[in-house]
A and B are shown apart, each in its own frame.
Chain A
Amino acid sequence: MTAVNALIIDDSEIDRYILSRQLKQIGITSIVEKDDGLAGLNFLDAYDENKLKAGDSFPPNIIFLDINMPQINGFEFLERFKALRAKHELLSCVIMMYSSSERQEDKDRAYAYEFVKDFVVKGESSAEEIAAKIKNIQ
């Protein structure tokens, strides 16, 4: 597995903790957490500053994205991220949805973006399963 820089965007502190701990269990240590789509976008947009600060740990190459968030939700994030990818060197960065939603409608809407590679339903995947999914999309 190549080095994974993970970015978790979720408004639930506990869900971030759970995913973060699962990622650590499978050996991913470069993890950044953001509590809203807006915070996630700001983080990516401050590209030069973060690159300088974090070095190889930036930019993230996998973003775990929640859907229901108060300020900028997952779908709004995807739309804005599309523009941001071209602006910065984020073309190798892919997204894995991380949501409680099991609705096909939400899955279809997310998969409409070419950079969305998988859809993890919260509470349904073990650390090992997440590892397999990551391996699969790399």
Chain B
Amino acid sequence: MNISRKLMIIVVLTIFEISLTLFSMFEILQGAKFHQLNMLHLKYISEFSEQVMLTDDVDDLDTEKLRKTIYDIRQQPIDCLAQINGIEKFIMRRIGTYEAIELCEKDIVDANEGLKLIDSFVRNEISWQEFFVKLGSVSNILNQNSIDFEEPIVKTVEFIFNAMVPLVVIISIINIIFITYLSKNITGSINKVIALLSRENTNEAIDETISRNVSGEIKELLVVAGARLKEELVKTEINQKLELLVEQRTESLTKANDELAQFAYRMSHDLKAPLTSAKGLAQFVVQDIGEENFGEASENSVKIVSQMEKLERLIISVLALNDPEPKPEETSLVDMESVLSNVRENNAELLKENQCQFSGEANVEGDVQTNEKSMTLILDNLVSNAAKYCDKNKDFQFVKIIINEQKFDYSIRVVDNGLGIPEERLSEVFQMFKRFHPNVSFGSGLGLATVKKHVDYLKGSISLESSTKGTTFIITLPKEDTV
């Protein structure tokens, strides 16, 4: 049963209890009122008797005064009948005290008899003696009525008192018992819910547990509270995710901004440097020609050309770095053997110049779905780096590309036995404008940054191992994007 229904029973019982108590009080007061009226009745009868007794002579007789006294006597039963209600009549009938009402009615009739007697005497229809005797008789009858009236009234009041008080007490006890039961019931339900919610290591979802074990308003409360809580949790989670996202974006933007500032600075520096050098050299050339020092002028002119070439390479590298990201539809089925062959051809001169042996093997089934331009550019950069920074102190120099097809991805290893990258600088390898062996060969410092960018385009990852024995770059390209 719902808590509200149980509470309603308590309310009804309490209202009934209060009503009975009030009714009992009202009836007891009513009884007292009837007693009062009867006392008044006796008082007027006494006055009437006195008036009759004190009349010695017919000349002393004041019929109007007697008539008025009888009117006064008759008024009490009239008031009594007017005040008595249906419930009282019903109760009096059931407990056999209805005679009190009959006595009132009889008393009115008797009083009317008295009045008729006075009328007869006034009209001289009866003698003075007869009138006096009959008047005494009326007084006695009325007096007897008063005496008889007391008993049923007392009985009625007693009945109400005896019946209602135990009834009120019983209802009060029932009410208290019911309130105690309900209180325990509600506390029990709440404790049960607390125990259910505190239970750990349960596989059952909390919603099912509540649905199976809880009912009524508590179930409703838990369902509503649960829904609200979930809503709040979702909101909190969304807020946290948003905050995290904002934080990550801010960090990423800050990083991008820093990189851009660094890029702009290095760009201006590295573009300006060969120009400044060429300008200085050109001034010397003018000076040397003027002094007819043609040998030095010629040497410096060659240096100017090399500076211009450096500038050109740098600009080409920057442009390559800013190549737009290939779109997914720009991928095609690529023959890796053909890529390896192109890489060898593109770097032929450099490899020959540095006496670096190139070898490549592609252990893949059929063609690979990828962007050929990015793939070639990555391998070209790694091979040219291997050739440029080969270790002349070793017996022979090599660079080897091994492409293996794995279950979920392709692994590309570019292995060389070159100079290696100093361990403390390994974290900088993919940054722009980083060069680790400036005296060994030319370069813009953008090659590995470009490689990293194109590996990212292909949704792959790149790592490296390096020592003085050589360097190995390991690129992993996911199959789902390349197949």
List residues of A whose CB falls within 8 A of some B CB.
11-12, 14-15, 17-18, 21, 35-36, 68-71, 100-101, 103, 122-123
Contacts and interface: CB of A to CB of B under 8 A. Distances in A.
B260 to A, nearest CB: 15
Contact of A15 (B266, B277, B436): B277
Interface string B266-305: 1001001101110111001000000000000000000100
Nearest to B439: A35
Given A70-B436, A100-B272, A18 B277 contact: yes
A14 B281 contact: yes
20 contacts: A12-B273, A14-B307, A15-B273, A15-B277, A15-B280, A18-B281, A21-B284, A35-B438, A68-B266, A70-B434, A70-B437, A70-B438, A100-B269, A101-B265, A122-B273, A122-B276, A122-B277, A122-B280, A123-B275, A123-B277
B276 A100 contact: yes
A68 B269 contact: yes
Contacts of A14: 277, 280-281, 303, 307
Contacts of B280: 14-15, 18, 122-123
Interface of A is mostly: loop
A15 to B, nearest CB: 6
Interface of B: 265-266, 269, 272-273, 275-277, 279-281, 284, 303, 307, 434-439
Contacts of B303: 14, 17
A94 B307 CA distance: 31
A6 to B, nearest CB: 17
A23 B277 CA distance: 16
Contacts of A35: 438-439
A78 B272 CA distance: 24
Contacts of B284: 18, 21
Nearest to A69: B438
Q: Could you say which of B277, B279, B435, B436 has the most chain A C-beta atoms within 10 Å of its C-beta?
A: B277
A17 B288 CA distance: 14
Contacts of B266: 68
Q: Could you say which of A14, A17, A101, A122 has the most chain B C-beta atoms within 10 Å of its C-beta?
A: A14
A14 B442 CA distance: 13
A11 B310 CA distance: 15
